[in-house]
Amino acid sequence: MHGNAEAWPRGPFGPSGAVGSTVRARRTVLAVTHHVTAATRLADVMPLLESDPRIAVAYTRAPASAFTGGLDEMLHRMGGLVLPWQQAVQTPFDLCVAASHGMLEQLHAPVLTIPHGAGPGKLLHRAPGFGPAADRPVTGLLRHRVVVDGRVVPSAMAFGHERHLRQVEAECPEALPVAFVCGDPCLDRLIASLPYQTAYRRALGTGDGRRVVLISSTWGAHSLLGQRSDLLQRVVDELSPDQYQVVVALHPHIWAWHGRRQIIAWCADGLRLLPPEEGWQAALVAADHVIGDHGSVTCYGAALGVPVLLGAFSETEVSPGSHVARLGAIAPRVDWEQPLGPQLDDSLHAFDERACTAFRDELSSRPDESARLLRKEMYRLLRLDEPDRPPLVEPVSLPQAVNPPADRLLPDRMFGHQLGDCAQKHGHAEPPDEPERRLDRPEDPEAPADPVPGGEDETPASAEAGRGRADSRGSPASVRRR
């Protein structure tokens, strides 16, 4: 990923950027990835710039994290122009965007940082050693990475909620002048995806009548998987495949540290294992239940109104007064000495509409505004006028399990290209007039599921299933259960 200067890729940046350019850019932007988790958040944000022909975007990997496994492969699959870090730090850009901190002071451009999770809510892992324990800072607000050599590194720091500004003031007051609130782009995309729940469930191989149970674990010894190494086998043994579709989403750091082959070997037959890069978002929209911990995926599930059971929750790892602490206070815990099935049934009644709305409000104080506010700030830093058209909020891609069932090969027509009318109705992005047949775009929830000669179309009840938790603007709806 480093290479030498002779092997560095050339493109529309640097002193010779105009030499080979077909479309001459007026501004250049560098997307800085630290690990797969950060790269997935940048995938939510960078499309706000990439469609503008005045702007050229390149990607790089900052060697500032211990969890870089799989990142090079992900960047390659994303298809962006990827620069070695040594080239990136020697090339001037007009803006750098990052979803983590570390080594950003080496870049030659204004830096915008965005959170790569549901906002500051967890404490930094305590390092082993022989000295006495000390207070731990909140992750995402590490002062030694935000302030380097007497200067605040970012020119702008985006946060999801007004409450986060108080955390900035407490953890790193020097950064408060550059902090601003824009809402949560991941939450906004999840809410925009709710109408397509039926397509996501079908992509997971879930038939009618079964409940989708999403198992989500963050990383580390205090996570759900760290506390319950028998977790995956236990769930498969207890939950009948005739009643439940079990889907597993593990934090990308687990994949980076232990390796893809090891993760797949851990998974029992009957589970649908999602890759670390994406898929958990669609599975969360499809889910009837979440068994999780203090990670961001569990928080997003509660915000969408999915009944949550906490299989593990370490109060010592959570920032007091945060949204994660709030989740620990309101969500029921799994009793691992008792059967899981009845506990899942009971969890259906643990969250009412008011609790769901209140928790969603803890994640974002600018609902449905993240695309507009982030784009506005990026164009301000770029010193460019924004495009006239409003920013689009794309639904998340269809999930593709690492270990799909044998009958996963489904006809192309089930992922039809009739998304446009529904997308316009809900204020989200529409596909091109003649889209390719792609398996990563959800179908129109109002289109027939799989029409056959003489057959019946999808029933109104199933077409409405994806709208049972929230409407397109994220306002609460009654909790929907099958």
* Same domain, yes or no: 205 and 304: yes
pLDDT score of 207 more than 90 = no
Report percent pLDDT > 90 for the chain: 73
The verdict on residue 448 lying in a domain is: no
In a domain, 466, yes or no: no
Query: Is there a domain that residue 402 lies in?
Result: no
Determine the pLDDT at residue 361. Answer: 94
At 443 the pLDDT is: 60
**Paired strand residues for 292:** 310
Residue 129 belongs to a domain: yes
What pLDDT, on a 0 to 100 scale, did the predictor assign at position 350?
A: 85
- Total domains in the fold of the chain: 2
DSSP classification of residue 110: -
Q: Which two tokens stand for residue 330?
A: 């309101």
Co-location of 40 and 177 in the same domain: yes
Q: Let me know whether 348 and 199 are in one domain.
A: yes
Residue 59: which of 24, 26, 99 has the closest Cα?
99
Residue 81 region, left (φ>0) first, then alpha (ψ -120 to 50), else beta?
beta
Residue numbers of the domain that contains 295: 193-363
Tell me, what DSSP letter sits at residue 307?
-
- Say if 10 falls within a structural domain: yes
Query: Tell me, what's the pLDDT at 179?
Result: 98
Q: What is the mean pLDDT of residues 193-216?
A: 94
- Whether residues 218 and 242 fall in one domain: yes
Check which CATH number belongs to the domain holding 11 and give it: 3.40.50
Which stretch of 28-32, 80-84, 386-390, 416-420 has the lowest confidence by average pLDDT? 416-420
Q: Are 180 and 200 in the same domain?
A: no
Q: What is the pLDDT of residue 352?
A: 80
- pLDDT over 70 percentage in the chain: 82
What pLDDT sits at residue 416?
36
- Over residues 382-398, the pLDDT tens digits come to 999 999 999 999 999 99
Q: One-letter amino acid identity for 372?
A: R
| Amino acid occupying residue 386 | E
User: Residue 362: how many CB atoms within 10 A of its CB?
Assistant: 23
pLDDT of 372: 98
Mean pLDDT of the chain: 85
| The pLDDT of residue 181 is above 90 | yes
Q: What is the CATH number of the domain that holds 359?
A: 3.40.50.12580
User: Are 210 and 243 within 8 A, CB to CB?
Assistant: yes
pLDDT of residue 470: 45
Residue 325 counted as domain residue: yes
Lowest-confidence region among 1-15, 247-261, 336-350, 439-453: 439-453
Residues 6+ apart with CB under 8 A from 94: 27, 28, 29, 109, 110, 381, 382, 383
Asked which of 340, 363, 386 is the last residue of a domain, the reply is 363
Does this model's pTM top 0.75?
Answer: yes
User: Can you tell me the mean pLDDT for 209-236?
Assistant: 95
Question: CA-to-CA distance for 314 and 321, rounded, in angstroms?
Answer: 14
Q: Tokens 């006495």, residue?
A: 132
In terms of Cβ atoms closer than 10 Å to its own Cβ (0-12, 13-18, 19+), residue 446 is middle
Tokens of 150: 């007497």
Bridge partners, residue 344, by sequence: none
Between CA 116 and CA 65 the distance in angstroms is 14
pLDDT given for residue 5 in this prediction: 59
Nearest Cα to Cα of residue 468 among 270, 106, 460: 460
Assigned domain for 245 exists = yes
Q: What is the DSSP string of 169-210?
A: HHH-GGGGGGEEE---HHHHHHHHHGGGHHHHHHHTTPPTTP
Q: How large is the average pLDDT for residues 115-135?
A: 91
What's the pLDDT at 405?
54
Query: Are residues 244 and 158 part of one domain?
Result: no
Final residue of a structural domain among 187, 219, 247: 187
Say if residue 171 is in the same domain as residue 209.
Answer: no
Same domain, 14 and 113: yes
Tell me: the pLDDT tens digits for 244-262? 999 999 999 999 999 999 9
Q: Which residues, including other chains, have CB under 8 Å from residue 453's CB and lie 6 or more apart?
A: none
Q: What does 338-352 look like in DSSP terms, one character per residue? A: S-HHHHHHHHTTT--
Distance CA 397, CA 361 (A): 25
82-117 burial by CB neighbour count: b if 16+ within 10 A, else e? Answer: bbbbbbbbebebbbbbbbbbbbbbebebbbbbbbbb
Residue 472 has what pLDDT?
37
Query: Would you mind telling me the total number of residues written for the chain in this entry?
Result: 482
Same domain, 143 and 211: no
pLDDT band at 458 (very low <50, low <70, confident <90, very high): very low
pLDDT band at 25 (very low <50, low <70, confident <90, very high): very high
How crowded is the C-beta side of 159, counted as CA atoms within 13 Å? 25
Residue 449 within any structural domain of the chain: no
**Which of 187, 203, 218 delimits the end of a domain?**
187
d(CA 59, CA 64): 15
The strand order across the sheet containing 271-273 reads 271-273, 244-250, 211-217, 289-292, 308-310
Answer yes or no: do 18 and 153 share one domain: yes
Cα–Cα nearest to 228, from 116, 144, 312, 314 = 312
